[in-house]
Homo-oligomer: A and B are copies of this chain.
Amino acid sequence: MIIEFKVYCSYPQSFGDLFPYLRKSHYLISMFFHFRNKFPRLNVYWDKYLEFQQRLDVPAKTILLDEGKISQNYIYIEKGCVRSYFNKNGEDKTVQFFFEEEGLSSLESFVNNLPSQFTIETIEPSVIYLLPKQYVAQLIAELSNEADFTQMILYMSAQRQTHYINEFVSFIRDTPEERYQHLLQERPHIVQRVPQHYIASYLGVSTVHLSRIKSKLAKGKTRF
């Protein structure tokens, strides 16, 4: 088993060639960082690789990765927030938001050297760390010696899969108004920190309609 992962130690140009079974499991790498605070043991590795990371102190609306380009770095957010989006018919469609202590990359692009489907851009002025690909490979090789390695992977991938299933089911089940209310209840920090027009496209509605939804909910509340 461990031998399988030792292969990753050779610091490849293209990760894809080294993941014979994993060409599509791009999200794997993301998860170590994304959940690192849930597995404090990982912090040792994080600290060790700190010297290889580039620290960026960037303003809002800084593009960290352009749609169509190939991801070269893993991105970790120390301060601020970030969104991923794509362009459809000249219009931004926001897919996801990321905040402090979360990590991300355009994962298929990162692992397989493919053009990214998404643009990654800061929303607020942010402090970002970039870890180049080859060090990520090295980190994974080291992590594979951790006894809990496989269980961590499973736990993390399960978390993410549950998340995406719920997002998907919500579109079948709920009206835009209901989706907005769920967002308010379950992830209020998004509504508080993210400009409304990004939230609109994330909910799948126009900015005008989200404004209407808010207005309607406000009227409901002021009844007594």
Please give the residue numbers on chain A whose beta carbons come within 8 Å of chain B beta carbons, in ascending order. Answer: 1-2, 4-5, 20-22, 24-28, 86, 88, 93-95, 147-155, 157-162, 164-165, 167-169, 171-173, 201-202, 204
Contact = CB atoms under 8 A, between A and B. Distances in A.
Given A4-B150, A150-B1, A202 B172 contact: yes
A39 to B, nearest CB: 9
Contacts of A157: 25, 154, 157-158, 161
A157 B152 CA distance: 13
Interface of A is mostly: helix
A147 B2 CA distance: 9
Contact of A155 (B1, B21, B172, B204): B21
A153 B157 CA distance: 10
A155 B164 CA distance: 17
